[in-house]
Amino acid sequence: MHFMKIALPVLALSALLAGCKEEAKSVDWYKENRSELAKVYQKCVASGDDSDNCKNAKQAHYDIQQKDAPVTQFH
């Protein structure tokens, strides 16, 4: 019985926290929302986080940096 008094609140709290996970923004969303991209990208680089949001922000940042990059010509 003592186990149930501890386990039930722990399980309830775990379920509650699992539902609070932030939904990942897409790469295209970050490309269209540059100010948010800058904030998230800096936070991800500083923390080393590899969440879906960080992966998408890093990809958007890379895509933007490469958009007008010169293409090397091999002759």
* Per-residue pLDDT, 75: 81
* pLDDT digits 0-9 by tens, 3-59: 566 766 665 555 544 545 679 999 999 999 999 999 999 999 999 999 999 999 999
Yes or no: say if 35 and 45 are a contact pair by the CB < 8 Å rule: no
Residue that wins the pLDDT comparison between 61 and 21: 61
Transcribe 25-51 into DSSP letters.
Answer: PPHHHHHH-HHHHHHHHHHHHHHT--S
Yes or no: say if 5 and 34 are a contact pair by the CB < 8 Å rule: no
